Amino acid sequence: MSGVIPTGLILLGDAVETASANEGVMAISPKMVILTWVAFFMVVWILHRTTWKPILNALELRENRIRRALDEAAKAEKTAADMQSQNAILLEKTRDESRKIVEAARQLAADNARMIEERAHAQARSLVEETRRELETAMVKAREGLRRETADLVLVLAEQVIGENMNSSRNRELIAKQLETREP
């Protein structure tokens, strides 16, 4: 390869000298065109042998890295989309569960309120009944107390009217008998 370059350059140099001696630098000669093309192909061949393959390898490596990066980005995007859809599903499930929990809590609160209301009504009825019994007992006691007081008062008045002291146990029996017959 090193022998080809000097030979080509010598030929090129000879052609340039011949062309410049005959017609001038800007003149186009077929020999000069051929030598230019030969020099061009030699440079292309040398570049192809020395630098073209490494450049292509570097470009191919870069292309492969870019392709892998794009594939990884696509995978990451797909994974992110999958995760986002899974998160949306989980969020909806969580919302449904929270709605169910809230509804259960409302139902429990309504049931508790109903039970408390029923207990309060039962306690109120119980208190009313107990108060009624106490009132009836108090009324019975008050009537008996009034009977005794009335009997005692009648005895005192009768004693004063009659003027003699009667047997108080006997008088009480008579008065109780009379009151029982008149009671409604």
Query: Can you give the residue ranges of every domain in the chain?
Result: 4-96, 130-182
Identify the pLDDT of residue 72. Answer: 95
Task: State CA 175 to chain mean position distance.
Answer: 86
64 vs 78: CA distance, rounded Å: 21
Residue 15: CB atoms within 10 Å: 19
Q: How far apart are CA 66 and CA 72, in angstroms?
A: 10
DSSP 8-class letter at 167: P
Per-residue pLDDT reduced to its tens digit, 81-116: 999 999 999 999 999 999 999 999 999 999 999 999
Question: Coil, strand, or helix at residue 163?
Answer: coil
Can you give the pTM of this predicted structure?
0.39
Average pLDDT, the chain: 82
